[in-house]
Copies of this chain bind each other. A is one copy, B any other.
C-alpha cells in the first residue's frame, strides 16, 4: 500500500513527540516533517532520546512546512485556532491535539477557556474518541483529540450513563495524573527536587476538561473533577463515585459495559477477585493504547466506584488520535498501537 505522508507541528513537546514515536513505526505512514521553533535544526533524537537510530529527521521551523496528506497539530492551546487558515491549507486531513476544537458548545468553551477566535468552526471537528464516535470518524477530515483526563473519565462513565444505571445526582471524579501532563516546559513547579515524591493537589476544582466530559456523556450529567498529580511521569488513574439506581446490581453494571464496549480492541475490563493486580493500574498500560476499566459496588449503600487507567500520552492523546486516523483511512484499527506494555 502507498504510504501517506504526515507532518507534525509541535513535535518537540510530549504529545507531538508521542505521535511521532507511533507514526515512525506505523507501516502506512511516512513522517515527512516535524516542527519545533526552539529546536529547529536539531535532530529529533536530541529531544527524544528514545528515537536515536530510528529516524534522521530534524526539527524545522513551522514556516518551512510543506503540504502533506495528514497534518497533526500539537500546539499550545489557542494557537491553531488563531492560525487556522495557514495550517488547514496544508493538508486535507487535520488532527488537532489541543483543546481548540474539542467542544461544540460555545458557552462551555467560554466558561473554561474564554473567547474563541473562530467560534464558527466549533462543531466542525469530530471528537476523536473511537469508542463513542467511530462511525463519524470514518468520514472525518478534521479530528480533535480528546483531553487526557476527559478520555479517562468519559471512557469510565460512558457505558453507565448510556445504560442508565446510575441514580441521578452528582458524580465525583478523582483523577490521579502525572507530571508529563504539564508539558515539556521547565518551571519552578516541575523542578525535580520539588516535584519528586510529592502528591500535589493540582486542580481541586474548576478543571477545564469538565467541559468535554459533560458535553460527551449522555444526558450531560453533573460531573465534578478533582485532579491530583502523583510523581509518575505517565499515566492517569480515574476513580468515579456515584450511586446505582435502587434495585440494580453488579450484573447490570457488567451488562452496561459489555453493551457499550463489546468488541472494542483497546478496552479491557479489569476486575479480579484474587491476585496481586485486581483493578486497573496505569503502570501496566504505560506505553500502550489500552484503557483498563474496573468497578466495585458497595452492596449496602449502592455506591459504585468506577476506575479507569490509561497512559495520558497514548490512549489519552496520541494513541486515540492515531486510532481515529486508522479508522478514517480504513486501515486496521490497531495498526501501530500493538505494544502490550511491560511487566514487571
- What is the interface of chain A, defined by CB distance below 8 A to chain B? 14, 17, 21, 24-25, 46, 48-54, 170, 172, 174, 176, 179-180, 182, 184-201, 204-206, 224, 226, 228, 230-235, 237, 239, 241, 268, 270, 272, 275-284, 286-288, 290, 292, 294, 296-298, 301, 303, 305, 307, 309, 338-344
B14-A205 in contact (CB<8A): no
The distance from the CB of A157 to the nearest CB of chain B, in whole angstroms, is 15
The distance from the CB of A59 to the nearest CB of chain B, in whole angstroms, is 13
Quick one: which of B17, B51, B186, B270 contacts A191, CB cutoff 8 A?
B186
B190-A340 in contact (CB<8A): no
Chain B residues, Cβ within 8 Å of A281:
49, 198-201
The distance from the CB of A27 to the nearest CB of chain B, in whole angstroms, is 11
A111-B232 Cα distance, complex, nearest whole Å? 36
Nearest first, the 10 closest Cβ-Cβ pairs linking A and B are: A205-B298, A193-B344, A50-B341, A204-B305, A201-B279, A204-B296, A192-B195, A186-B191, A49-B277, A50-B343
- A285: nearest residue on chain B (CB-CB)? B50
Chain B residues, Cβ within 8 Å of A54:
340
Copies of this chain? 4
Chain B residues, Cβ within 8 Å of A185:
191
B205-A235 in contact (CB<8A): no
Chain B residues, Cβ within 8 Å of A275:
46
A-B contact pairs, 12 of them (CB 8 A): A21-B340, A48-B343, A51-B343, A53-B268, A174-B174, A174-B239, A186-B187, A192-B192, A192-B233, A199-B237, A201-B294, A287-B342
- A341: nearest residue on chain B (CB-CB)? B50
- A279: nearest residue on chain B (CB-CB)? B201
A200-B279 in contact (CB<8A): yes
The distance from the CB of A198 to the nearest CB of chain B, in whole angstroms, is 5
A164-B172 Cα distance, complex, nearest whole Å? 22
A231-B196 in contact (CB<8A): yes
The distance from the CB of A191 to the nearest CB of chain B, in whole angstroms, is 4
A28-B13 Cα distance, complex, nearest whole Å? 36
Quick one: which of B234, B298, B339 contacts A206, CB cutoff 8 A?
B298
Chain B residues, Cβ within 8 Å of A194:
276-277, 344
Chain B residues, Cβ within 8 Å of A182:
193
A262-B21 Cα distance, complex, nearest whole Å? 25
A121-B249 Cα distance, complex, nearest whole Å? 39
B204-A239 in contact (CB<8A): yes
The distance from the CB of A47 to the nearest CB of chain B, in whole angstroms, is 8
A52-B292 in contact (CB<8A): yes
A188-B186 in contact (CB<8A): yes
